[in-house]
C-alpha cells in the first residue's frame, strides 16, 4: 500500500538537542493506536534550517509546517490532522498562518520563500539514510553523465564555466583548482572532502553531511573523475557523531548499489571513499595541516608552494574541497554550467549557505543567491533582532573574519565586497551582534579561540595571538592606554603579514575590522574608561533611574545585598560593594536599572 501522507521529522543535531529524538517513537505509538500506521510514512530528515523554532514536523501532501513540537503534541497531530484531517492550528509555525488563519505551505513561509536552495536542495526533504530518495531527486545522475558522456577535461571546463568558487572561505575557482591536479602526471591522485568545520557558530557543513550525505559522495567522485583520482577521503571531526554515522550508512548503500567501487556505470572508472576522523583542531581545516593529520602526523601546516594540487597527501597530487562546494557540484553538472552561472552576481556565482546565529530571531540555516544584501538576510529571512534592539554589527567568517557595521548592511554578499568591508565570506558563520554587546569583549572571545587553536609552529601566530589577547584583556579591564591601542593595531598587522598559514594570517581580522569600524568603542574603554555595551565589568557602574517603582525585586535578588530602599521608594545601589553581576538589571520589571 502506498502511503497517503508523509510526516517529515527534522532530525538535525539542533532539533535532536531540543528533544526531536523521542518524536518518532511517539508517532509510531499513536499511529498504531489509531490503526493508520501503514497509511502514513514517517521520515527522519536532516536539518530543515529554522533551528530556532525546532523541532519541526512537516506533513505532506499539504506541506503543513509544525514548529516547536514536543512529545505531548504528537498525539493531537495524529488524532486531529492525520486521522480526521483537521490541521492543528495552534501548533503551526506562526509565520505560516495568514491573518485569516489560513495555513500556508512550508515553502511559502517568508523564511524559505526568500531562499534559493542549491546546496541544501535535499536537506530536510529526503531521508538521508535512504539512497533511493536521493536517486529519486536526480541523485547520481551527474556522476552518470560525467562518466559516460564527458571527458575529464570537459568536466573541468564545465566547472570553470559555472564560476563555482570554493565555499570553505577562500573562494578559489573550483574548476581551476581541479585543472592543476588534472595536469599533473602521476599514477596516484587523491580527492579529499574537508569536513573539518570549526568556526564557532558555523554548522552548515554538519547540516549538509547529516541531511544529504550522498551529494557529498557524488561531488567527491565527480572531482575524482575530473582530476584522475580513484581514492577519496572525507576528513570529518569526531565531534560530529551523527554526521559520521550518516556518512557511513551512505557509503555502505552506495557500495551496495555499485555507485562506489569498480567499473561504475560500466565506464571502467573505479572509486573508493574512506572516512578519516579528526580530533577537532581548528588548524586541521587548513589544507596542509589536514593532509598531515590524515598521514598520521600532528596537525600542523607547512609552507606553500608546493600546493597540494601538485604535492599533497603522501606527496601525490591532491584536491581538497569543502563540503558545501562538493554538495553544489552534482547540481552544477546535472543542470549545466549555464543554469548555475545565472544565479548570483558577475564575480560570485551561485548561492551561499549561512548559519545565522547570535542576536537574531530566526536563528538557523539559510541559503541565498550571491548578491543578496546582508540586510535582506538579517531582517527578511532572519526576522530581525529580538526585543527590537538595535543592530550593532554582523560578524561573518567567524574568528577569521571581521565585523561589518550597520551602515554597510546594504552590501551585496560577494567574496570581494566582504573583503573590501574588512571581513570575508568565510565558511558561512554569520553572527548578529546587537547593541548590548561590547566589541572589545567579542574580540577577546575570538582571540581566546585562536590562541587555543594555534598549532604553535610559527612564532607570529603562536606568540602574536597571545600578546594581542593580553592587550585586549588590559583594555577591557580599564587599564589600557591609547599607546596600547596603537600597538595592538601594529601587532595585528604584523601577525597578519607574517604568519605561516591561514589561521594566523586571519586571526587579527576581528581586531583590525573592529578597530576600523568601532574605534570609538575601543577609545571609550581606554580614554573615558567606559564600556558602551555594558559588558566589561571593571568599567560598568549600575545605577537606578527615577522610574524605579520600589518593587524591591532587585534588592531581594542581589547576591551581595548592596541595594537599599524600602517598598515603593526609589532604590539605590552601593557601587563600592556591587559585584556587577547584572542580576538586578535583568529582574527589574520597568528597566529602571542601567549600566553607565
* 502 close to 461: Cβ distance less than 8 angstroms: no
70 or 141: CB nearest other proteins: 141
Q: How many residues bind other proteins (CB under 8 A)?
A: 38
39 or 435: CB nearest other proteins: 39
Query: Measured between alpha carbons, how far is residue 315 from residues 172, 310, 311, 318 in Å?
Result: 22, 8, 5, 8
Q: For residues 480-509, which are near other proteins according to CB under 8 A?
A: none
- Which residue from 24, 70, 75, 137 is in contact with other proteins, where contact means CB under 8 A? 137
For the CB of residue 516, give the shortest distance to other proteins in the complex, in Å: 46
Q: For residues 324-363, which are near other proteins according to CB under 8 A?
A: none
Bridge partner residues of 573 (DSSP): 563
For the CB of residue 244, give the shortest distance to other proteins in the complex, in Å: 25
CB environment 294-330: b (16+ within 10 A), e (fewer): beeeebbbeeeeeebbbbbbeebbbbbbbbbbbbbbb
Q: Does 136 bind other proteins (CB under 8 A)?
A: yes
- Which residue from 97, 135, 570, 581 is in contact with other proteins, where contact means CB under 8 A? 135
Q: For residues 10-29, which are near other proteins according to CB under 8 A?
A: none
Q: Does 39 bind other proteins (CB under 8 A)?
A: yes
For the CB of residue 383, give the shortest distance to other proteins in the complex, in Å: 24
DSSP string, 224-241: HHHHT--EEEEEEETT-H
- Which residue from 140, 233, 340, 446 is in contact with other proteins, where contact means CB under 8 A? 140
Helix, strand, coil percent values for the chain (each to nearest 5): 45, 15, 35
Neighbours of 148 (CB within 10 A): 12
For the CB of residue 125, give the shortest distance to other proteins in the complex, in Å: 6
Q: Does 8 bind other proteins (CB under 8 A)?
A: yes
Q: Does 148 bind other proteins (CB under 8 A)?
A: yes
- Which residue from 129, 161, 183, 257 is in contact with other proteins, where contact means CB under 8 A? 257
Q: For residues 260-279, which are near other proteins according to CB under 8 A?
A: 264-266
> Of how many residues is the chain composed?
596
For the CB of residue 556, give the shortest distance to other proteins in the complex, in Å: 51
Q: Which alpha helices (DSSP H) does 457-533 contain, by range?
A: 459-476, 482-498, 502-506, 509-517, 519-523
- Segment interacting with other proteins, rule: CB under 8 A, options 18-26, 140-148, 368-376, 477-485: 140-148
- Segment interacting with other proteins, rule: CB under 8 A, options 139-147, 209-217, 330-338, 509-517: 139-147
Q: How do strand 190-195 and strand 318-322 relate by DSSP bridges?
A: parallel
Place of cell 577591557: 476
35 or 99: CB nearest other proteins: 35
Query: Is-cis flag, bond preceding 55, omega within 30?
Result: yes
Query: Measured between alpha carbons, how far is residue 233 from residues 28, 323, 536 in Å?
Result: 37, 12, 45
Q: Which alpha helices (DSSP H) does 197-299 contain, by range?
A: 204-211, 213-227, 241-256, 287-294
CA distance 41 to 85: 16
59 or 461: CB nearest other proteins: 59
What is the rounded (10 degree) CA torsion for 442, 446, 452, 453?
170
For the CB of residue 257, give the shortest distance to other proteins in the complex, in Å: 5
- Which residue from 141, 276, 302, 347 is in contact with other proteins, where contact means CB under 8 A? 141
Q: If residue 333 lies in a helix (H) or strand (E), which one and from where to where?
A: helix 323-335
111 or 269: CB nearest other proteins: 269
Label residue 582 left, alpha or beta by phi (over 0 means left) and psi (-120 to 50 means alpha). Answer: left
Query: Between 42 and 71, how does the x/- string for binding to other proteins read (CB under 8 A)?
Result: ------------------xxxx--------
Q: Does 258 bind other proteins (CB under 8 A)?
A: yes
7 or 539: CB nearest other proteins: 7
Query: Between 395 and 434, how does the x/- string for binding to other proteins read (CB under 8 A)?
Result: ----------------------------------------
60 or 487: CB nearest other proteins: 60
Bridge partner residues of 595 (DSSP): 542
Question: What would the grid cell of residue 218 be?
Answer: 557524488
Q: For residues 75-134, which are near other proteins according to CB under 8 A?
A: 82-86, 107, 125-126, 130, 132-133
Residues binding other proteins (CB under 8 A): 1-6, 8, 39, 41, 60-63, 82-86, 107, 125-126, 130, 132-133, 135-138, 140-141, 144, 148, 257-259, 264-266
Amino acid at each position: 500500500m502506498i502511503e497517503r501522507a508523509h510526516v517529515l521529522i527534522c532530525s538535525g543535531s539542533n532539533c535532536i538537542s531540543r528533544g526531536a529524538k523521542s518524536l518518532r517513537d511517539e508517532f509510531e505509538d499513536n499511529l498504531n493506536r489509531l490503526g493508520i500506521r501503514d497509511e502514513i510514512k514517517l521520515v527522519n530528515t536532516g536539518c530543515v534550517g529554522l533551528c530556532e523554532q525546532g523541532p519541526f514536523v512537516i506533513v505532506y501532501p499539504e506541506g503543513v509546517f509544525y514548529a516547536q513540537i514536543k512529545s505531548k503534541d504528537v498525539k493531537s497531530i495524529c488524532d486531529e490532522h492525520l486521522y480526521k484531517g483537521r490541521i492543528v492550528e495552534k501548533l503551526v509555525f506562526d509565520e505560516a498562518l495568514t491573518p485569516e488563519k489560513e495555513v500556508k505551505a512550508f515553502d511559502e513561509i517568508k523564511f524559505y520563500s526568500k531562499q534559493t536552495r542549491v546546496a541544501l536542495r535535499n536537506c530536510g526533504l529526503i531521508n538521508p539514510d535512504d539512497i533511493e530518495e536521493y536517486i529519486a531527486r536526480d541523485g547520481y545522475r551527474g556522476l552518470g553523465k560525467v562518466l559516460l558522456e564527458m571527458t575529464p577535461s570537459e568536466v573541468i571546463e564545465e566547472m570553470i564555466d559555472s564560476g563555482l568558487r570554493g565555499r570553505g572561505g577562500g573562494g578559489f575557482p573550483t574548476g581551476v583548482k581541479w585543472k592543476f591536479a588534472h595536469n599533473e602526471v602521476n599514477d596516484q591522485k587523491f580527492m579529499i572532502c574537508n569536513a573539518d568545520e570549526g568556526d564557532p557558530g558555523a554548522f552548515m557543513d554538519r547540516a549538509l553531511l547529516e541531511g544529504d550525505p550522498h551529494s557529498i559522495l557524488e561531488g567527491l567522485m565527480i572531482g575524482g573523475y575530473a582530476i584522475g583520482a580513484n581514492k577519496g577521503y572525507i576528513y570529518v571531526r569526531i565531534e560530529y557523531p551523527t554526521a559520521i554515522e550518516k556518512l557511513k550508512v551512505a557509503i555502505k548503500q552506495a557500495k551496495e548499489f555499485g555507485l562506489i567501487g569498480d567499473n561504475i556505470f560500466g565506464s571502467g572508472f573505479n572509486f573508493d571513499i574512506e572516512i578519516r576522523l579528526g580530533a577537532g583542531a581548528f588548524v586541521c581545516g587548513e589544507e596542509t595541516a589536514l593532509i598531515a593529520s590524515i598521514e598520521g602526523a600532528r596537525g600542523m601546516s607547512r609552507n606553500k608552494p608546493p600546493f597540494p594540487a601538485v604535492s599533497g597527501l603522501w606527496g601525490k597530487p591532491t584536491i581538497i574541497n569543502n563540503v558545501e562546494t562538493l554538495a553544489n557540484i552534482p547540481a552544477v553538472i546535472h543542470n549545466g554550467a549555464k543554469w548555475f552561472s545565472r544565479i548570483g552576481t558577475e564575480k560570485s556565482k551561485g548561492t551561499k549557505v549561512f548559519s545565522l546565529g547570535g542576536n537574531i530571531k530566526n536563528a538557523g540555516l539559510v541559503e541565498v543567491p550571491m548578491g543578496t544584501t546582508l540586510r535582506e538576510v538579517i531582517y527578511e529571512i532572519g526576522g530581525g533582532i529580538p526585543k527590537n534592539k538595535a543592530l550593532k554589527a554582523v560578524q561573518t567568517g567567524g574568528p577569521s573574519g571581521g565585523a561589518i557595521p550597520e551602515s554597510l548592511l546594504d552590501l551585496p554578499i560577494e567574496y570581494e565586497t566582504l573583503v573590501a568591508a574588512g571581513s570575508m565570506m568565510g565558511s558561512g558563520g554569520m553572527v548578529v551582534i546587537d547593541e548590548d554587546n561590547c566589541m572589545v569583549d567579542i574580540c577577546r572571545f575570538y582571540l581566546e579561540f585562536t590562541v587555543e587553536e594555534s598549532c604553535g609552529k610559527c612564532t607570529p601566530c603562536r606568540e602574536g595571538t597571545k600578546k594581542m589577547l593580553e592587550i585586549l584583556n588590559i583594555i577591557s579591564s580599564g587599564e589600557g592606554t591609547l599607546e596600547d591601542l596603537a600597538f595592538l593595531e601594529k601587532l595585528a598587522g604584523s601577525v597578519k603579514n607574517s604568519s605561516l598559514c591561514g589561521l594566523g594570517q586571519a586571526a587579527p581580522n576581528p581586531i583590525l575590522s573592529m578597530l576600523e569600524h568601532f574605534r570609538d568603542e575601543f577609545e571609550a574603554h581606554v580614554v573615558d574608561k567606559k564600556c558602551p555595551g555594558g559588558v566589561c565589568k571593571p568599567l560598568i557602574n549600575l545605577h537606578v533611574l527615577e522610574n524605579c517603582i520600589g518593587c524591591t525585586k532587585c534588592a531581594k535578588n542581589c547576591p551581595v545585598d548592596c541595594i537599599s530602599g524600602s517598598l515603593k521608594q526609589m532604590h539605590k545601589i552601593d557601587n563600592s560593594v556591587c559585584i556587577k553581576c547584572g542580576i538586578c538589571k535583568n529582574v527589574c520589571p520597568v528597566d529602571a536599572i542601567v549600566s553607565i
